[in-house]
Chain A
Amino acid sequence: MSEKYQLPNLSKSRTVVNSATRSIVRVGGIAVIGAIVLIMAYLFWVVIPMLLPASVSLDHQFDLSTEGVLHVSSDDSFEVISLINADGSVVCHDAEDMSILDEIEVSPSHFKTVKPLYPLANTFVALTELDTLVFFQIVHRVRFLNEIRTIENQVDVLFDDSFIDVGSINDFDAFRSDEKLRVVLLNIDGSIDLHEYLNVDDAYELEEPKSTTIDAWSPSPRNVEIMIGPLGRWLFEIDVTNGDYRLINVASTRRTSVEQVGSFRLENSSFQFAEPVLGRYSFLVADDQGRVDHWILGPIGANQGLRMVRTFDYPKPIKKIILEHRRKGFLAVDHSGRGFIGHTTSAAKKRTVVSLEKVPRLIAFSPRADRLIAIHDDSIDIFRVNNKHPETSWTTLWGKVDYEGYKESAFTWQSSSADVEFEPKFSLMPLLFGSIKAAFYAMLVATPIAILGAIYTAMFMSPQMRKLIKPGIEIMAALPTVILGFIAGLWLAPLIEKHLTAIMLLLLIPPLGVLLFAYLTTLLPSRIRASLDGWFGALTVPLLVLLGWLTLANNEWFASLIFQGHGDAKTWLYEVLGVDYDQRNALIIGIAMGLAVIPIIFSIAEDAIYGVPQHLVHGSLALGATRWQTLVRVVLLTASPGIFSAIMIGMGRAVGETMIVLMATGNTPIMDFNLFQGMRTFAANIAVEMPESEVGSTHFRILFLTAFVLFLITFLLNTVAEVVRQRLRARYGNL
């Protein structure tokens, strides 16, 4: 008879504790991974809209005779569409159903031409059949009457209802700044009159202008268009028949000068028209073969001039190009009525096609570029445009880009400006470069000090001293980096700038002093030496302080000795090496961030070295190896996985470190590896710009993209570090 033997069951409480512990650990582990994945997913989620293509869809189509409509505009929130008619009136329609809200007479005489008063919104200048210029502004005021929201539409004729008599002209343009109004008139004979009105106020009549005349240029002035350029300082004359143009500097009315004479014409096609992009720093030039060239205004040699920087190719000839009001975006319409949405800076990206059926007589973007209003002879079509982030493409983020006003293509980060017509420059390269530069110089300082310190502490220091030093350095890691950055930026940077010569000599004098000291100790009687063994490190501290102080105190003496005739190191750098010295530069970062990174590298490396088994050390020593040979051939080899991960973790920290670089780099997004120049890192850039960024804007999403890239870089660094460490451990690990 066999009796089945049974193990006693685990007691109930032990089972409960066992399974509870297991689930808690599991939940914790999964939560950590989940949190990281979530962070990454969230960053990417914010970035996604930038990657989506634009879309355009027909919203409303109203059958309506549009005879006599000269210009169309709408209010900011797209509730009112205003049509400016040739009969001198403005008719405001409800954007929802095109019902007429208001009909306002601006001028008793008919309009021949209407142009926007550059660079203002909803403000126009009209040439009447009496050859006068009338300035008026369409105003949409939101009112709450009995708590009902209503929009009051109104047209204000500027300058106390006055007008300018211009006589018979071919073309005109006007520019308005705070207190100045400039009007240019192209006379029948081709000469140009420039009138500048000062002390301008909307409510008062204009004073007598200062006037000047520019000589005729084109033999056929009838074909010439004139246009005032950026900030009212430039005047473009374009011959619409052949694309020849003249650029005149009119910054001063007293002395105008021709800056450039050129042509938009291409060799194998004929010029059609040129349309200025927002801000008028650049032109989109269409030919008869479907090609649109982008010409920008920028320095050419000593002068300013237009040069072609990029080309958009379309399947069919482009008949019309209209511009967005607040971005460098545009819509190009070909002769079959197909519209292409584009953006000058980001070039070829997101080419969305919309069918307008035929080329509209008039077409305009709404101020927010979320609607398109196409005016045909017998209908008004309204399209909904979803094109939130046209400014970015792979090239604008990572490549060299030709920006308006630049001499050549460049990597530039300049996300915002006070100027509304500003072209945002979103190249991530300067930031990536800055991050790498900051990390490089920090590691250059931190790695040797931390690793050598770790070797000394683990191998040569007396155990009592090690007990003080190790936690001491580890506590340094707890030092808030904002304090380090503060000290580096406000105390260290000026100090180093003032004592540059001495600071450079610090690399030479104290180490030589220590070597001399080390040599002198070998002359001590062996009895004293033995009693001091392991404490020499402590003895060098006062020596280093003394030598450092002496070097700094004698800065001027050293400077006059080394840089004879140049004054000091800063001047010498500039005069001899041509290096500009920034007060907040990579040297400061190397020192300050190096200091922040040292404790991490030191601590991990020291643990690794100290953890090398004594039996290996003894094995080596017993074979007749010296301490140095043992260190190099056995200890460092065995500790190499740990030392390697120490360096990589330090590097990850240096790449992501924010406060120090924020406070001590000057945050200049330049690409110069020079030790004495500043930089801007990804992390600092996010800290600087995120509070100023409009939520949901392209800038906002790009900041998230930089965070994502930063995350990827540190993730990659850590992964590489871990893989290499594992391989090293498989090879050299002995534990």
Chain B
Amino acid sequence: MELPDSDISLNVVNLSLSYADKPALQNITMKIPKQRVTALIGPSGCGKSTLIRCFNRMNDLIDSVSVTGRIELNKLDIHDKNVDVAQLRRQVGMVFQRPNPFPKSIEENVAYGLRLTKEVPKSELESRVEWALKSAALWDEVKDRLKDTALGLSGGQQQRLVIARAIAVQPSVLLLDEPASALDPISTLKIEELIAELKTQYTIAIVTHNMQQAARVSDFTAFLYLGELIEFNNTRTIFTNPRQEKTEDYVSGRYG
């Protein structure tokens, strides 16, 4: 799969990661294209969440993690000494498996990232919040209760709120770590529709357990197995004509 450099958002080169001598990722090399949805699939413990957490250096929070190899975001090495982790994370937003709104109002949740720096003037906060909520397809449901606590929303709404919170700071990449696994089918559907909307503006990497979901929402799919990248290709190719036997076994449900 060859892409021109200008279409590459994240370039992963020879990335290995281990937790206290236990290898979790081995020699991963992949190019995640811009404004596309890339799905990471694989059985539990294959390292897909670990990989996605490398992209915004959330793994830094875990003691005894050692990383080798390179990750470039728009050709910039994210492990470079001059890279500020906080700034990196503003470029690479992340949504977790469990909805994690802060115990604040809906409005404050969305504005949280904006208030961290003074990039967005206070006068524009309100319109930014509205824009983010609209982008996350949540505006109509919450516009009358922006001051209410976010904890009063349903699980699906909370997850869309968290997505709104992530895109409010206008990152270039959005990492979704099993965003729908804790949700009911209708909420899942809404999230999937949202992903389809968002990919016109953001590079999206999504970790999912659900192969139908990967097939539905993603343009590209990477299959990981025991910390290794087995295959990375067009989603259609992966699901209909995988080159590797392991991939075929997995997508056809022989293990997982």
Binding site for B on A (CB under 8 A): 463, 613, 615-616, 618-626, 629, 633-634, 637-638, 731-734
In whole angstroms, how far apart are the Cα atoms of A616 and B94 in the complex? 12
Closest Cβ–Cβ distance, residue B251 to chain A (whole Å)? 30
Q: Once the chains bind, are A621 and B61 in contact (CB under 8 Å)? A: yes
Interface stretch, picked from B5-13, B22-30, B99-107, B204-212, is B99-107
Q: Within the assembled complex, what's the spacing in Å between the Cα atoms of A616 and B151?
A: 12
Specify the main secondary structure of chain A where it touches its partner: helix
Shortest Cβ distance from residue B9 to the other chain A in the assembled complex, whole angstroms? 18
Interface centre among A621, A633, A732 (most CB of B within 10 A): A621
Residues of A within 8 A of B56 (CB): 622
- The answer to whether A623 and B112 have CB atoms under 8 Å apart is yes
Nearest opposing residue in chain B for A463, CB measure: B63
B253 to chain A, nearest CB (A): 31
Known: A622-B94, A622-B166, A637-B103. 4 other contacts (CB 8 A): A623-B90, A623-B116, A624-B113, A633-B112
Complex CA gap A615/B113 in Å reads: 16
Chain A residues with CB under 8 A of B162: 619
The distance in angstroms between the C-alpha atoms of A463 and B93, with both chains bound, is 28
Q: How far is the CB of B166 from chain A (nearest CB, A)?
A: 7
Number of A-B residue pairs, CB cutoff 8 Å, is 70
- Chain B contacts for A463, CB-based, 8 A: 63
B135 within 8 A of A: no
Closest to B117 in A: A624
Report A638 CB to chain B, min CB distance, Å.
6
**B58 at the binding interface (Cβ < 8 Å):** yes
- Complex alpha-carbon distance, A733 and B103, angstroms: 7
Known contacts: A633-B112, A637-B104, A638-B103. The answer to whether A619 contacts B96 by CB under 8 A is yes
Residues of B within 8 A of A (CB): 56, 58, 61, 63, 86-90, 93-94, 96, 98, 100-104, 112-113, 116-117, 149, 151, 162, 165-166, 169
- C-alpha spacing A622/B102, complex, angstroms: 13
Instruction: Flag if B96 contacts A618 (CB, 8 Å).
Output: yes
Knowing A623-B93, A624-B169, A731-B149 touch, does A634 contact B58 (C-beta < 8 A)? no
Bound-state Cα–Cα, A619 to B87, Å: 15
A634: which B residues are within 8 A, CB to CB? 102
Q: Beyond A615-B100, A619-B102, A619-B162, is A624–B116 a contact (Cβ under 8 Å)?
A: yes
Q: Which residue of B lies closest to A637 (CB)?
A: B103
Does B102 contact A616, Cβ atoms closer than 8 Å?
Answer: yes
A445 CA to B112 CA, complexed, in Å: 34
A622 with B112: CB separation less than 8 A: no
Contact A624 B86 (CB under 8 A): yes
Q: Is the CB of A624 within 8 A of B58?
A: no
Among B63, B88, B103, the most chain A Cβ lie within 10 Å of the Cβ of B103
A217 to B19, CA, bound (A): 106
30 residue pairs A–B, Cβ–Cβ below 8 Å: A463-B63, A616-B102, A618-B61, A618-B100, A620-B102, A620-B112, A621-B58, A622-B58, A622-B96, A623-B89, A623-B90, A623-B166, A623-B169, A624-B86, A624-B87, A624-B89, A624-B90, A624-B113, A624-B117, A625-B113, A626-B86, A626-B116, A629-B116, A633-B102, A637-B104, A638-B102, A638-B103, A732-B104, A734-B103, A734-B151
A615 to B97, alpha carbons, bound, how many Å?
Answer: 9
With a 10 A CB-CB cut-off, give which of A619, A620, A732 has the most chain B CB atoms: A619
Q: Are B98 and A615 in contact (CB under 8 A)?
A: yes
**A732 and B103 form a contact (CB under 8 A):** yes
Q: Which residues of the partner chain A approach B103 to less than 8 Å between Cβ atoms?
A: 616, 637-638, 731-734
User: What is the distance, in angstroms, from A729's C-beta to the closest C-beta of chain B?
Assistant: 9
* A626–B86 alpha-carbon span in the complex (Å): 6
In the assembled complex, how far is the CB of residue B157 from the closest CB belonging to chain A, in whole angstroms? Answer: 16
Interface contact B58-A625, CB-CB below 8 Å: no
